[in-house]
Amino acid sequence: MFIGIYGFGSIGRLLARVALERGHEIIGVVDIDPNIVGRDVGEILGLGEKLGIEVSTDPYTLTGSEVILHATGSYLDKVYDQIIASIDSGADVVSTCETLAYPYYRYPILARKINERAIDRNVSVIGTGINPGFLLDTLAIVLAAPFNIVNSIRAIRSIDAAKRRESFRKKIGIGEDIERVREMLRRGEITGHVGYAESVMLIADKAGINLTKVIEGQEPIKAEADVESSGIRVGRGLCKGIKGFGAGYIGDREIIRVEFYAYVGAEEFEEISISGRDYSIRWRSSGTPGDMGTAAIVLSIAENIVNYGPGLLTMADIIPFRPYIKVS
């Protein structure tokens, strides 16, 4: 498969490595970082050989790709033009943009425009990744499959932020003054985690229920004592990470809840609890590496996207199971 990559930061480079390992051919890479523009992709990846492909700032160098893997930003309004340019190249698009995982929630007009453009160009577009896209939504939908009637779904992910890349630690304010982090989150200077509501809405959409209220929030976590993990140390009183949630309601009843914890020294796990009319289950893992998990999911979708049909898709559109959530 001929692949183009739009965005060549840490995730874009990992996508490239995974694509090459799976036997795909990279025909173009786009980025705006002046430190890598003009350099050979193989050199940047440390492959020991050149691939004969230089990083370009021109998205139309991706023309000829069967699928474009897009990994530049979290908010659809900021990357909309990139998505449109990718569509116009004639390629299917798989993006790690968190708000594209369920764009109808925050960006209904942009979602409609993308859908119309994709149908017109006979290509598919989907946003996915490890979270949102899988652990707190798709996986919960699949685990709800053996239930006749579901009452509620709760999904939790906890990660040790010290084991994540530096750019992730920066966007959750690790080592900073706690009040400064709170203010930076409020002002949008750092993002924390993006996608709580998107995960809630993916589950609700697949279940075919109309939530009357969706709320989300996150806040920094203060280190009550000095803490250290994987060589990252945070002093007492400083920010050691974040915690956040998204919740979907029908009336006053909470139907869907997702929670995310990312802080230095956290236990790593995912846990999904499903309460049904007849029985309940709790599934728990020992933790999933986020970056490689995202790359694997993106490539898996890219390898199959030709089978999904044109237009703007979500993970809810391609899962065969539909939870029956009783709302009354």
- As given in the structure block, the two tokens for residue 174 are 């690790």
Query: Which pLDDT score is estimated for 328?
Result: 75
- As given in the structure block, the two tokens for residue 221 are 């976590």
Mean pLDDT value of segment 278-303 = 97
Query: Which pLDDT score is estimated for 326?
Result: 85
Whether 286 shows a pLDDT value over 90: the answer reads yes
Query: Which pLDDT score is estimated for 214?
Result: 98
Burial class (CB in 10 A: 0-12, 13-18, 19+), 22: middle
Whether 174 shows a pLDDT value over 80: the answer reads yes
Q: Are 314 and 114 in contact (CB under 8 A)?
A: no
Q: What is the dihedral of CA 295, 298, 304, 309, to 10 degrees?
A: -170
Query: Which pLDDT score is estimated for 312?
Result: 98
Q: Does residue 317 sit in helix, strand or coil?
A: helix
pTM of the model: 0.96
Domains of the chain by start residue, with CATH? 2-129+295-318 (3.40.50.720), 138-288 (3.30.360)
Query: Among positive and negative, which fits the CA dihedral 158, 9, 229, 287?
Result: positive
Q: Does residue 174 sit in helix, strand or coil?
A: coil
Spatial CB neighbours of 183, under 8 Å, sequence gap ≥ 6: none
User: What type of residue is 81?
Assistant: D
Radius of gyration (Cα) for the chain, nearest Å?
A: 20
